[in-house]
Amino acid sequence: MSNDTKRRRIGSVRQLPNGRWLARISRGTKADGGRRNPSKVLNTKQEAESWLQAMAVKLDERPDLGAGVTLQQLWGVYRKDRDGKLANSTLTRYAGCFERHWLPAIGTMDVSTIDVATAQRVIDTVRGRRDAMQCKAALSSVFTWAVRLGIMAENPIRTASLTYPGDTISAWEDESVWDDDPFGAIERTRNTWGAATVMDALPLMEGLPLEPVWLAMVGSGARLEEAFAIRRMDVRRAVVDGTEVTQLALHHALNASDGRHRTKNRKSARIVAMMEPFGERYWQLACEVSQRDGLVCPASPHNYGTRWRGYFAEPSTSKHTRAVGVYKGRLHGLPYIPLSRMRATHETLMQEAGVLDSVNAAMHGHSERISYRHYQQADSAKAAQQASSYLSLVG
């Protein structure tokens, strides 16, 4: 039986006079025990067919679904539905997590039976903390999507505190770490930098190719890809409530897989104010860019990981002038965390400074359902000023 035949068993897709597409569940198919025939108007035929497939899962009408929905079936529908809506790099990363870990281990399980303990057993088989965290993010994204469509009642792992590789108690049992570098020991377990380390890194970052990206992330909470996409025209120095602040217009992202593209979601297009002293330094770097549409960061997103890791390596004694070698070891001695964690570092600093969670979330462009009623430029600037005062006490 062809896929089209299966689709016609539960509904149809047709184009409307205005060019959009109507997906409708066939007569006689009942949703949630009622008589209504669910339908939805979408922009493209592919979106309409994806919606119909998702409804087929929800209504349990497709012949190949049986009594329940397996994780493999759910992933297949999710992947088709989100293709073109998620960034290619994100969907590719999710696909890798499912194909290498989730599907071989629990692909045949009914999604309603997957709980935190089940997810933890799979995470325990993943090598590397970063890969394990990405696996959780992939599964959680699929579950959240399924909840939104009514396929699942809840996402059981959304707020779960899973244990990742490297999360051992050995560091706590080793008393020497508390006499050696207690701040670093705690920061390594949190995978973020504290205010003291951030201020120590500020002068060391000066002149590094990735300095603009680091400043934007730790100073404003920009995502890594958003920080790479900032142009000269996206930066301004403004006076808010009598204080001069650097503001960033975040509306695009830039990565190696997708190039330049729109931000993650509608709330991600936002204006944020930078904490000081990061804002003043970022403004200096932006003013050095000659072209209005020129990128503030001169480094390519293609090899940023190699560059960043090189900053923490043993200082280079080589005379070669390759970019990675020239700056190798500049941050040696500071606790290493991935560059992507600088966004979380900013969020932590804002929390420590007492910034309201709703304002903090809005500055980061989070998509959770929180109150954005008070999210305005002045709120962002006040939050940055509040955090700047907190950092001045540390520095």
**248 within 8 A of 223, measured Cβ to Cβ:** no
Domain coordinates of the chain in residue numbers? Answer: 1-67, 71-167, 172-394
Query: H or E element: which one contains 132?
Result: helix 129-149
Residues 6+ apart with CB under 8 A from 305: 338, 339
Phi first, then psi, for residue 296 (nearest 5°) are: -70, -35
Tell me the CATH architecture of domain 71-167. Orthogonal Bundle (1.10)
pLDDT score for 371? 34
pLDDT score for 354? 62
pLDDT score for 233? 96
Query: H or E element: which one contains 174?
Result: none
Tokens at 148, concatenated:
């939104």
Burial class (CB in 10 A: 0-12, 13-18, 19+), 224: buried
pLDDT score for 22? 86
172-394 has the same fold as 71-167: no
Q: How is 349-380 classified by DSSP, letter by letter?
A: HHHHTT--HHHHHHHTT--SS---TT--HHHH
pLDDT score for 137? 92
Query: For residue 226, which of 191, 270, 193, 257 has the smallest C-alpha distance?
Result: 270
pLDDT score for 340? 87
Pairwise CA distance, residues 198 & 217, whole Å:
12
Tens place of pLDDT per residue across the chain (395 aa): 344 433 334 577 888 888 888 887 664 434 444 434 567 788 888 888 877 777 766 655 443 333 368 899 899 889 988 888 888 888 999 999 999 999 999 999 988 889 999 999 999 999 888 889 899 999 999 998 888 877 777 888 987 778 887 654 444 455 555 565 566 555 555 578 888 888 899 999 999 999 999 999 999 889 899 999 999 999 999 887 777 889 999 999 998 878 888 876 666 788 888 888 899 999 999 999 999 999 999 999 988 988 898 998 887 655 554 545 568 889 988 888 889 889 888 887 777 666 545 454 555 554 433 333 333 333 455 556 655 665 555 55
pLDDT score for 208? 94
Global confidence as pTM: 0.57
Top CATH class of 172-394 equals mainly alpha
